[in-house]
Chains A and B, each alone.
Chain A
Amino acid sequence: MAPQRFEVVRENKYLKNMIEVRGVSKTFELSKKQQKELNTTDTLFQAVKDVSFTCRPGRVFSLLGPNGAGKTTTLRSIGGIIKPSVGEILIQGVDIVKSPNEARKHIGFLTGSTGLYERLTPNEMIHYFGGLYGVEKAIVDSRKNKLYDMLNMHDFANKLIGKLSTGMKQKVSICRTMIHDPDVLVFDEPTSGLDVISAEAIINLIRDCKNNGKTVIFSSHIMSEVELLCDDLAIMHKGEIIEQGTFADFKSKSPDKSLTERFIDVIKNSEAI
C-alpha cells in the first residue's frame, strides 16, 4: 500500500537530512512456539514493509501507530539494534548496516522500558556508557556535571540505582542517553509507564534537543505529547506507513477533530481500503 502523502516536506537547503530511511523492510523468522501463539503456519513475519521517511535537524519527527504497527522495529533499526532485511538507513549520511559503529556514535537511544544497572550508581553508569562511546573521561565529567545541574541529580549521584525512585531513574536514563552529545535522538515511547513529573522531564528534554538543533524521532501513544512536540509525523499500521507529512498539515486537514479522532480515522480508512 503506497503511503498517502498530503504534503511533501519542503527541502531546506541549509538542513541536511540526519536520518534517511529508504525502503526499509524487516522480516522475522517465527519459531514453532511463535507460530502457535500467532495461530499461523507462516514461518516468516514481516514487521515492517517498505518504509521510507527523513528526519531533519531542529525538528521532532513522531512515529505514531497502534500496538504492533512496527514502530519499535523501525526505531530499533534506526538505533542499529536490529538490521533491516531490505533497504537502507543513513544516519548523518552513514549507513547503519555497513558502518554500524560509526553511525551509532551519533545516536542517543531511549525507551520507556530502558533498564538501568541497579547495582551501579548513576556516576558509575554514566562513566561506563561514556567509556563505551569512546568519550574521554574529562569530557564525560564535564558533560555529566552539566547534565546533573540541569536535571538536579547531584544528591543521588552516588546512590545505587536500585534504590532510586522511578523519576530519579528516568533522569539517569536521560543523562546516559545524552552523555556522548548525540546529534540524533531516538525515543521509543519514552514516557510509557512514567508519572506526570517524570514524563515532563522527558518532554522538556525532547524540546531542549530540538531547540539545540538536534534531530529527534519519537514514538508515542499519548496524543497530548505529540501535540506538544511534533513537527513532522508518520503513521504506521500493520508494518506500513499509511500517512506522513508535517504536523501542521495533518491537523489542518480536519481542524474540528481532536488529534486522537484524526488518528483513529486514518487507521480505520487504511483498513477499509
Chain B
Amino acid sequence: MSPIFHIIKKELKETLRDKRTLMTMIVIPILLFPVILSLTMKTSQYFANEANLKKIVIAFDSKYDAHPIINELQNLSETDSLLEIRGIADFSISKELIQKDSIQAALFIPETSKNALPVVIYHNGTKIDLLSRIKEKIELVKQKTILWQIEAQNIDPNSISGFEYQMTSTASAQETVGKLAGGFLPYVFIVFGFLGCMYPAIDLFTGEKERGTIETLLTVPVQRWKILIGKMCVVVLSGILAASLSLFGLFISIKGLNLIKDPELLGIINNILSFKFISVLILLQIPLTIFFAGVLIPIAIHAKSFKEAQSIITPLNFIVILPAIIGFLPQIELTAITATIPIVNIVLATKDLVAGTLNYGHLFISALVMCFIAALAVFVSYKQFEKETNVLM
C-alpha cells in the first residue's frame, strides 16, 4: 500500500469517526434543501390557500347600480360565496379602501355610454395572488356580456369583444418595490448580522476557555453577569456593525457605482433611503442582534473548543436564513399574528418599511416580541455562564 493511500485511509477513518464532521459534511447537505424547500413551499402554500379563501369585495359607484356589467357581477356573486359586489356612494374613497384592504377592487365605469373608454379596475398591485382571482371574475363577466350581446343582436360572435377593461394598481411605485423586492434588505442584514455575531461569540467565550484566559478573568472581583454583559455587548456591536456595513456597501453600490440606470427606480430608492428609514432599520436591528447574540453565546459557552462551537453554530445559519427567505414570499404580510414570530416579524417589518406601509402598532408588537426573546436569550446565556462546568475546561 502506498504511503499516500495509507494516509488517506487513516485520515478518512478519523474524519468519519468525528460526529460533528459527519453532521456538517453529510447530514446537513442532504437535509438542507429538502427542509428549506419543503418549509418554504408549505408556508407559501398555506398563505396562498388563505388568500384563495379570502372573500373578494369588488366595489362600484352606486349610481351605476343598474349597469349591465354590475348586474352580471351581482349575478356571479350569488353563485360565488367568495365574491361580494358592493356599491359605494362616495367612489372617491375607493382607492383608500383598497389600500386598507376593506375592498379588494373597485370598478370605475366611464361616463361615455358607447364603451369607447375601457372600464378601469383599481386593485392593489402588491397583492399578486388576488390579481388573478379578480381578473378571473372580470373575464367571466366579460364572457357573459358577450353571450348576452350575441343573443340580443343575433350577430357573429367573432365580431363582439364584450367590454374593454384595464387593471390599474392603487399601490405606489415605492410600495410595489418594497413589497416585491424589499425582502432582500432584511435578508442581507440578517445574514451579515448573524455572521458578525458568530465569530466574536466563539472567540470571546470558547476562545477564552481554549486559551485559558477565562480562569484568570473569573478571579477578578467583578460579578460574573457583568463579565457576561460586557462580552455580550461586544458580540452585539459586532453584529450591528457587520449588518450596518453590509447595508452601507449596498448603499455605495447603488449611489457610488451607478449600477441602477432606471431613473424612476433610482428615484424610488432615493426616496426610501431617508433618515427615518435608516433610524427605524437600526432600531429593528438592535433586538434582532441581541437575540442572535443570546442564541450564539450559550452555545459558545458550552462548547469545549473553537471547532466544536463552529460545528454547532454552522447549521444554525440555515435556521436563521429560513425566516429571511420567507420574507421573500409576497403573500406573507406583517399582521398582529406574524408580528409575534421572531425574525419573520423583523423581515416583514423591514419590507413594510421599504414599502412605506409600516403599521406602527405591528412594529411595536414585533419590537416587544424581539425584546422579550432577546431578554430570554440573555437569561439563558447568564444561566450557562453561571455553570462552572461550562466556563472551565
Interface residues of A (CB under 8 A from B): 28-29, 31, 76, 79-83, 100-102, 104-105, 107, 109, 111, 113-118, 129, 132-134, 176
Contacts and interface: CB of A to CB of B under 8 A. Distances in A.
A245 to B, nearest CB: 28
29 contacts: A28-B389, A29-B389, A79-B219, A80-B218, A81-B218, A81-B219, A81-B388, A81-B392, A82-B388, A83-B388, A100-B221, A104-B219, A104-B220, A109-B215, A109-B216, A111-B212, A111-B215, A113-B212, A114-B213, A115-B211, A115-B212, A115-B213, A116-B211, A129-B216, A129-B220, A132-B217, A132-B222, A133-B221, A134-B221
B281 to A, nearest CB: 32
A115 B207 CA distance: 11
Nearest to A99: B221
Given A28-B389, A29-B389, A80 B213 contact: no
B158 interface: no
Given A79-B219, A104-B220, 9 more contacts: A81-B392, A113-B215, A114-B212, A115-B213, A116-B213, A129-B216, A129-B220, A132-B222, A133-B220
B112 interface: no
Contact of B216 (A28, A82, A102, A115): A115
Contacts of B215: 76, 81, 109, 111, 113-115
Contacts of A76: 215, 392
B389 A109 contact: no
A101 B222 CA distance: 6
A79 B220 CA distance: 9
Nearest to A26: B388
Contacts of A31: 389
A100 B388 CA distance: 15
A104 B221 CA distance: 5
A125 B392 CA distance: 21
B274 interface: no
Given A113-B212, A115-B212, A117-B213, A80 B388 contact: no
Question: Which of A31, A109, A114, A115 has the largest count of B CB atoms less than 10 A from its CB?
Answer: A115
A111 B392 CA distance: 13
A202 B212 CA distance: 19
Contacts of A81: 215, 218-219, 388, 392
B223 interface: yes
Contacts of A80: 218-219
A109 B219 contact: yes
Contact of B219 (A28, A107, A113): A107
Interface of B: 208, 211-213, 215-223, 388-389, 392
A133 B211 CA distance: 21
Top-6 shortest CB links A-B = A115-B212, A115-B211, A101-B221, A115-B213, A109-B219, A104-B221
A114 B213 CA distance: 6
A101 B219 CA distance: 9
Contacts of A100: 221
Given A29-B389, A76-B392, A132 B212 contact: no
Nearest to B227: A132
A188 B121 CA distance: 82
Contacts of B223: 101
A113 B213 CA distance: 9
A77 to B, nearest CB: 10
A101 B223 CA distance: 7
Contact of B211 (A29, A82, A118): A118
Contacts of B389: 28-29, 31
A105 B388 contact: no
B52 to A, nearest CB: 49
Q: Which of B221, B223, B392 has the most CB of A within 10 A?
A: B221
Contacts of B220: 104, 129, 132-133
A71 B204 CA distance: 28
B299 to A, nearest CB: 16
Contacts of B211: 115-118
A189 to B, nearest CB: 12
Given A117-B213, A118-B211, A102 B221 contact: yes
A142 B58 CA distance: 83
B204 to A, nearest CB: 11
A29 B387 CA distance: 11
A95 to B, nearest CB: 14
A153 B358 CA distance: 60
Contacts of B388: 28, 81-83
A114 B392 CA distance: 12
A82 B213 contact: no
Contacts of B218: 79-81
B129 to A, nearest CB: 50
B392 A176 contact: no
Nearest to B203: A119
A44 B216 CA distance: 27
B389 to A, nearest CB: 6
Nearest to B389: A28
A83 B342 CA distance: 37
A165 B376 CA distance: 44
A116 B212 CA distance: 8
B157 to A, nearest CB: 79
Contacts of A104: 219-221
A131 to B, nearest CB: 9
Among A109, A129, A132, residue most surrounded by chain B Cβ atoms (within 10 Å) = A132
